[in-house]
Amino acid sequence: MFPVLELSGTPFERGRTHGQTARAQVTGSVRCYASLFASCGIDWSEAQRRAAEYSEIIAGCGGGMMEEIEGIAIGSGFTVNEILALNCRTEILPPTFMGMATTNSDQARRKNAALGLFDIGECTSVAVSRTRCSDGQTRVAQNWDWIGYQRKNVLALRVLRDAPWPSFLTLTEAGILAKIGVNDLGVAIGLNILRATNDRQQLGIPVHIFQRMALDCASVDDIVALAQSLAFAASSNAILGDATGKVCSLEYSPSGAAVIPPDQGVVAHTNHFCDPRLAEKQAPLAQMLTTEPRLHCADTQIADWPDEIDDVYLGLLLRDETGAPGATGQDAKYGAICRSPDMSLPPDLRVESVFGVIINCDNRTMLVAPGIPSQVDFELLAL
């Protein structure tokens, strides 16, 4: 299991504990993103300058988030702007990230083009209403696909807060306030990156800050209303569920926010816009070739589910390596939901399923596969 940090006290105190306890992992996150930014022509000083532009926006989001970031900085020995750069990493990385020229990129692209594989698409997620679960409890599940070497910097944060703020449990990268999680009101949120042609053309709420704001909410409807009231600098999809049984996907971008409703109690999402209006600004999918096949793979398996499912079905979905029913050979990996790295590629191109997670909204628990889900067991983690 990933390191579990229990955080309590004021926002600054929680951040300081985070920074002190996970100093090595925060250092790893800084090194990771300094390298990724540099591969895009953005040095670490420039990344910090860009991140600093969001400080007032984050301070205005409530919940003491800037104080918590300041605490992480003090505890870990980094500057506030360095921790801001981690929390704003989606807004700093260009929309064409990994489609850009990097070391050995031409060779990598030729190799993967021959296989029809190369893409930068990331996560596959699903939310299942209580009406489709055999125990009557809502689920949100996903694989988080990203650069594999960031796995060693993943943390589970158990954040204990006094009313009126809900406590929550989140899987996140060290130094980042939140990513995928569930709060003690039974509200769960996952994350799929999206890319639009108008990303990063304006300041707005950073993606990971919105993920944290969502964990302050009391219901899916509250998160949707919040998103519709905000301006965003970059695009993503939040897969949502709550203990009342409400589930949906919430796509958001500089163009606004849109809800993708469930079909027969289930909604799945990958890395392209499904809302027609937001899809008008979809960035080219030339470097995200598997997002549509992965969604088709998920939808095909979901269509074969019985009327009521349990965690076994969700685990099988997250462990899928076929990509399509009956696929064999090279085609077996195309569109696969569980993704293994190609070790012949440069480290900054080795996208894989870093972890898998199944969240039970009613129990406020997670089943976590702390590695490539097809290769490790799911372990229980509770708020």
- Give residue 345's pLDDT: 73
Give me the half-sphere count of Cα atoms (radius 13 Å) on the Cβ side of residue 165.
18
CATH number for region 4-108+115-382: 3.60.60.10
Give me the half-sphere count of Cα atoms (radius 13 Å) on the Cβ side of residue 343.
0
Angle between helix 11-21 and 65-76 (nearest 10)? 30
Both tokens assigned to 342: 């190609």
Asked if 69 contacts 84 with a C-beta cutoff of 8 angstroms, the reply is yes
Residue whose C-alpha is closest to residue 313's, from 371, 378, 363, 218: 378
Q: What is the pLDDT along the chain (383 residues), one digit of tens a residue?
A: 999 999 999 999 999 999 999 999 999 999 999 988 888 888 999 999 999 999 999 999 989 999 999 999 999 999 999 999 999 999 998 765 544 444 444 444 444 444 434 455 579 999 999 999 999 999 999 999 999 989 999 999 999 999 899 999 999 999 999 999 999 999 999 999 999 999 999 999 999 999 999 999 999 999 999 999 999 999 999 999 999 999 999 999 999 999 999 999 999 999 999 999 999 999 887 667 788 889 999 999 999 999 999 999 999 999 999 876 555 555 556 688 998 887 777 777 788 999 999 999 999 999 999 999 999 999 999 99
- Give residue 156's pLDDT: 98
Specify the pTM.
Answer: 0.92
| Residue 223 φ/ψ region, left for φ over 0, alpha for ψ in the -120 to 50 degree band, beta for the rest | alpha
- Give residue 276's pLDDT: 97
Asked if 7 contacts 159 with a C-beta cutoff of 8 angstroms, the reply is yes
Asked if 368 contacts 379 with a C-beta cutoff of 8 angstroms, the reply is yes
- Give residue 284's pLDDT: 84
In sequence order, the β-bridge partners of residue 379 are: 368
Classify each residue of 40-61 as buried b or exposed e, where b means 16 or more C-beta atoms within 10 Å of its C-beta: bebebeebbebbeebbebbeeb
The predicted-structure confidence for 129-177, as pLDDT tens digits, reads as follows 999 999 999 999 999 999 998 999 999 999 999 989 999 999 999 999 9
